A and B are shown apart, each in its own frame.
Chain A
Amino acid sequence: MTQPVVQLRRRGFGETMRRDAWWLPPLGVFVVLSSFLAYATWAAFQNANYEYGNYLSPFYSPLLFGPPPHGWFARAPRWLASISPALLILPFPAGFRFTCYYYRGAYYKAFWADPPSCSVGEPRKGYLGERTLPLVLQNVHRYFLYFALLFLLVLAHDAWEGYHFADAAGGMRFGIGVGSLVLTTNVVLLGGYTLGCHSLRHLVGGYLDRLAGRPARRTAYDCVSCLNRGHMNWAWASLFWVAFTDVYVRMCAMGVWHDWRIL
């Protein structure tokens, strides 16, 4: 015998039978990402205190226009001169994080409550997902990845420069300061995050069904997959540390903190 079948009533916003603190992770994401956005925006508009000797803040790297040792070109075109150098480069790492598969899932929950958490009622009935504009543009992630890989090389160079201090004779001498380690940690964490990207995993070998007979691709795919398993941890650690690196350089440049030389 067939009988009419109906779904249970749709739950309202925040309604759930869950007993755990389901609201805590999205709240944490909301607070941390909002704080980072606020700080990064403030720091980008400062246009000052972003370099200290051989250290350069990652928010301003690559420094396209500026004096040596960090600037690539000495003079900016007149129409760009009044703009903070950070604003020229930050859209690329920001776009990489904004379109990142991990962050997407996290901020859809934290900022848009879509859903607020697993098996918790939503505020809206309508839903388009990532099928149509604007969210279909998230598919641009792999293009931001290409830029992120270039930025990684630049930041690695900055970290290397962080070990070379000017001496009294006007030359450069190898040394280690706390700032050198801060910049190195920054590039290591960003490397762990960028090289574990889902799009990179696809591009290095994931798009193939057969990796047999392709040892280089197999190794690359396995390495990216290994980093990808901890993608969430790399994402948060690198986000925190990139902000801290800027704080460190800024504080040293402002004379608030003193860069302690280890060697």
Chain B
Amino acid sequence: MTAPSSTTTSHAVDAYTAAQQAQDAAVGHSSRTFRVWRGANGEGDFRDYTTEAMDGMVVLDALHQIQAEQAPDLALRWNCKAGKCGSCSAEINGKPKLMCMTRLDELPADEPVSVEPMRTFPHVRDLVTDVSWNFRVKPNITRFTPRAPDAPDGTWRVDQRDVDRVQEFRKCIECFLCQDVCHVLRDHHKHDEFIGPRFLVYAAALEMHPLDVADRTTQLKEAHGIGYCNITKCCTKVCPEGITITDNAIIPLKERVADQHFDPLRALVRLVRGKKKPG
């Protein structure tokens, strides 16, 4: 087999470049202004940057472009650019969103796009916040506690439909947008008394698991402050994974807490049957 001559290669590259240029020319270009929060440690203000936007661009692309061309010191957190790592959470036009999943053509073209950091967490710099509080909360939730194995070989038998119920909660990518929008944390700063929607989903995944036998209801009521949730459903609205946080996780947990702590009839039934946690 002979290698292609340099003339053939050059023609191929030219054809490729020409095709690329034709493709680029076919893509719509427009100028967009971004109003980006700049500052550190809670202090700062919005600064306007105008940049070239192309069809299909997302907010994260535009910010990278601004970072490359105008503001090399702009701090922002990102990783996968595919809506799966949960790193690029921010507030775009006032709504908590993933920057990598927010297309520019979804946003009004006639006004600047505002981008600011999440307000629930301590501000570090520009669009970066310190979300480490979340990682300190998680270990305080009673761990998965499986029942004794069903078979002598140490395995369990579980109905797929029972697993499906908690599978929804496992889609969480820990972007913490639900924590950001929750007014109990965002406006009332109850970080010491309330674990927030993300960890109520986590607790629901454990509490409703068909193998789990631990009872977290007292913990949810007392230490985790589930009573602070007033069911605004904002967490459900911002979840990029579409988890029905309020209806499928928080309200069922509230009902379980009501069973244990606020329902005299249930208490009577438990007393008669002598059963702690229903299967």
Which A positions have Cβ atoms within 8 angstroms of B?
3-11, 16-19, 101-102, 104-105, 108-109, 114-115, 118-119, 121-122, 125-127, 129-132, 135-136, 139-140, 142, 198-199, 201-202, 206-213, 218, 228-229, 231
Separation of A136 and B227 alpha carbons in the complex (Å) = 8
Which residues of chain A are within 8 angstroms of B11 by Cβ–Cβ distance? Answer: none
Give which listed residue, A8, A108, A129, A206, contacts B255 with CB less than 8 A. Answer: A206
Which of the 9-residue segments B21-29, B50-58, B63-71, B185-193 touches chain A? Answer: B185-193
Chain A residue with Cβ nearest B166: A209
**B95 / chain A contacts, CB cutoff of 8 Å:** 18, 118-119
Given known contacts A19-B108, A131-B228, A208-B278, A6 and B263 CB-to-CB distance under 8 angstroms:
no
B residues within 8 A CB of A206? Answer: 252, 255
Q: How far is the CB of B113 from chain A (nearest CB, A)?
A: 10
In order of increasing CB-CB distance, the 5 nearest A-B pairs are A5-B122, A17-B94, A212-B159, A6-B42, A131-B227
Q: Given the complex of chains A and B, what is the CA–CA distance between A102 and B231 in angstroms? A: 8
Q: Once bound together, how far apart are the Cα atoms of A16 and B114, in whole Å?
A: 11
- In the complex the two chains form, is A142's CB within 8 Å of B263's CB? yes
- By the criterion CB–CB under 8 Å, are A118 and B237 in contact? yes
B121 CB–A CB distance under 8 Å: yes
Question: In the complex, what's the smallest C-beta–C-beta distance from A220 to chain B, in angstroms?
Answer: 14
Is the pair B122, A6 in contact by a Cβ cutoff of 8 Å? yes
Asked if B111 is at the interface (CB within 8 A of a chain A CB), the reply is yes
Q: How many residue pairs between the two chains, A and B, have CB atoms under 8 Å in the bound complex?
A: 159
23 A-B contacts, Cβ less than 8 Å apart?
A104-B230, A105-B230, A105-B232, A108-B231, A115-B187, A118-B95, A119-B94, A119-B96, A119-B181, A127-B183, A129-B229, A129-B230, A130-B228, A142-B258, A198-B247, A198-B255, A202-B252, A206-B255, A207-B255, A209-B208, A209-B278, A210-B210, A228-B247
A202 with B184: CB separation less than 8 A: no
Task: Judge whether A208 and B93 touch: CB under 8 Å.
Answer: no
- Known contacts A7-B123, A118-B237; is A207 also within 8 Å of B259 by CB? yes
B7 → A minimal CB distance (Å): 56
Alpha-carbon separation in the docked complex, A114 to B182 (Å): 11
Q: A7-B123, A9-B42, A108-B230 are in contact. Are A129 and B93 (CB under 8 A)?
A: no
List A contacts of B91 (CB < 8 A): 17, 119
Chain A residue nearest in CB terms to B119: A8
- Cα A218 to Cα B162 with chains together (Å): 10
Interface residues in B197-243 (C-beta closer than 8 Å to A): 207-210, 212, 225, 227-234, 237-238
B262 at the interface (CB under 8 A from A): yes
B196 CB–A CB distance under 8 Å: no
Docked-complex contact B162 and A127, CB < 8 angstroms = no
- For B96, the closest partner residue in chain A by CB is A119
Chain B minimum-CB-distance residue to A141: B258
Report the Cα distance A102→B186, complex, angstroms.
22
Name the distance in Å between A100's Cβ and chain B's nearest Cβ: 10
A233 → chain B closest CB, angstroms: 13
Chain B residues close to A by CB (< 8 Å): 40-43, 91, 93-96, 108, 111, 114, 116-117, 119-124, 130, 158-159, 161-162, 180-181, 183-184, 186-190, 207-210, 212, 225, 227-234, 237-238, 246-247, 251-252, 254-256, 258-259, 262-263, 278-279
Q: A119-B234, A125-B188 are in contact. Are A19 and B93 (CB under 8 A)?
A: yes
Once A18-B94, A19-B93, A136-B262 are accepted as A-B contacts, the answer to whether A6 and B41 lie under 8 Å apart by CB is yes
Max chain A C-beta neighbours (<10 A), residue from B114, B181, B254: B254
A136 to B258, CA, bound (A): 10
Question: Across the interface, which residues of B come within 8 angstroms of A108, CB to CB?
Answer: 230-232
Tell whether, in the assembled complex, residue A130 and residue B229 are in contact, meaning their CB atoms are under 8 Å apart: yes
Determine whether the beta carbon of A207 is less than 8 Å from that of B124. Answer: no
Min CB distance, B62 to chain A, in Å?
Answer: 17
Max count, chain B CB within 10 A of own CB: residue among A4, A122, A202: A202
A214 to B, closest residue via Cβ? B279
Q: Do A114 and B258 touch across chains, with their CB atoms under 8 A apart?
A: no
Given A5-B122, A8-B42, A119-B91, A127:B263 Cβ within 8 A: no
Within 8 Å CB of B228, what residues of A?
127, 129-131
In the complex, what's the smallest C-beta–C-beta distance from B2 to chain A, in angstroms? 59
Could you tell me the distance between the alpha carbons of A11 and B258 in the complex, rounded to whole angstroms?
Answer: 34
